[in-house]
Amino acid sequence: MTRKKLIAGNWKMNKTSADAVSLARDLVAAVGTAPEVEVVICPPFTALEAVAKVVDGSLIKLGAQNMHYEASGAFTGEVSAPMLRAIFTTHVILGHSERRTLFGETDELVNKKVLSALKNQLKPILCVGESLAEREAGSTLKVVQTQTERGLEGVSKEQASTLVVAYEPVWAIGTGKVATTEQAQEVHAFIRGLLTKHYGEAISQKVRILYGGSMKPANAPELLAQKDIDGGLIGGASLEARSFVELIKAAAAIA
């Protein structure tokens, strides 16, 4: 089974609305009609609506970087799934390691968000990954298993096929240190095995598992050629059209 490669840009807390529109325009011009690869860009909340207008009519999809699990209410500073849906957002990054480490998000909280996203027809990009200390202690697979299984608790078979999982070793994020292809493929295959255990082979073969952590045009071809690496969640290299377009082309070359 061949899964369509997915390249997602996580812009994090970068770009004003005007800067985001300008980058989105460049991306639409360069890859907005290329069908071989699925492309998702995740600007900050303040730029989502403006970017939605730019990508409208192109093949580029829109993602958010976080959300609250409730639909509405007294949650000052938060944004809900229905609010994101109303401005044409289709994907949402959940459980990013920066949310987990800097904002104290637990597996339980991430799970509530995953369930709420799915209920509202948003596709979660569930991030999992070990810290350097955890890798050195030999607990990488255990950490990834806990984050994946707890994050997906209560997700039905039917919902599972729309999921995206991103394996992002925390020590590789924004550090320039990329996991070796063997390290990445090992964990990706392990995650697919977990999905098979819970949802069966047919579903697990449909789920895209992205690699994230210092993915760049130079290291992408080798990573993307691995059997269970179905794309990338790109931070730094997604902030500039040239490098992000090169990554999309690298994925298209393998597709």
Q: With binding defined as CB under 6 A, does residue 215 bind ligand PGA?
A: yes
Phi, psi (rounded to 5 degrees) for 67 = -165, 165
- HSE-up (13 A, CA, CB side) for residue 20: 25
The binder of ligand PGA chosen from 111, 159, 214, 219 (CB under 6 A): 214
Among 173, 247, 248, 251, binds ligand PGA (CB under 6 A): 173
The reply to whether 204 sits near ligand PGA by the rule CB under 6 A is: no
- The conformational region for residue 93 under phi > 0 = left, psi -120 to 50 = alpha, else beta, is beta
Under the criterion CB under 6 A, does residue 220 sit at the interface with ligand PGA? no
Does residue 10 touch ligand PGA according to CB under 6 A?
A: yes
Q: Which stretch of DSSP H or E encloses residue 39?
A: strand 38-42
Under 8 Å CB-to-CB from 202, ≥6 apart: which residues? none
Residue 198 annotated in active site? no
User: Which tokens hold the place of 182?
Assistant: 């063997």
| Residues within window 76-95 making contact with ligand PGA, judged by CB under 6 A | none
Q: Which stretch binds ligand PGA (CB under 6 A): 14-22, 32-40, 118-126, 208-216?
A: 208-216
Is residue 240 part of the contact set for ligand PGA (CB under 6 A)? no
Q: Which stretch binds ligand PGA (CB under 6 A): 56-64, 167-175, 189-197, 199-207?
A: 167-175
CB of 72 to ligand PGA, least distance (A): 28
Q: How far is the CB of 7 from ligand PGA (least distance, A)?
A: 12
Is 236 near ligand PGA (CB under 6 A)? Answer: yes
* Letter string b/e over residues 177-211, b meaning 16 or more CB atoms within 10 A of that residue's CB: ebbebebbbebbebbbebbeebbeeebbeebbbbb
Q: Which positions from 37 to 76 touch ligand PGA by CB under 6 A, shown as an x/- string?
A: ----------------------------------------
We find the least distance from the C-beta atom of residue 86 to ligand PGA, in angstroms, to be 25
| Residue 168 is a catalytic residue | yes
Q: Is 1 exposed, middle or buried (0-12, 13-18, 19+ CB in 10 A)?
A: exposed
Spot the catalytic one: 38, 91, 168, 188: 168
Mapped onto helix, strand or coil, the DSSP state of residue 118 is: helix
User: How far apart are CB 36 and ligand PGA at their closest, in Å?
Assistant: 22
The DSSP code sequence of 85-116 is HHTT--EEEES-HHHHHHS---HHHHHHHHHH
When binding is defined by CB under 6 A, the residue of 110, 117, 234, 245 that contacts ligand PGA is 234
Q: Please, which residues bridge with residue 167 across strands?
A: 128, 211
Q: Which residue is listed with tokens 């070796």?
A: 180
Active centre residues (catalytic):
96, 168
- What are the residues binding ligand PGA (CB under 6 A)? 10, 168, 173-174, 212-215, 233-237
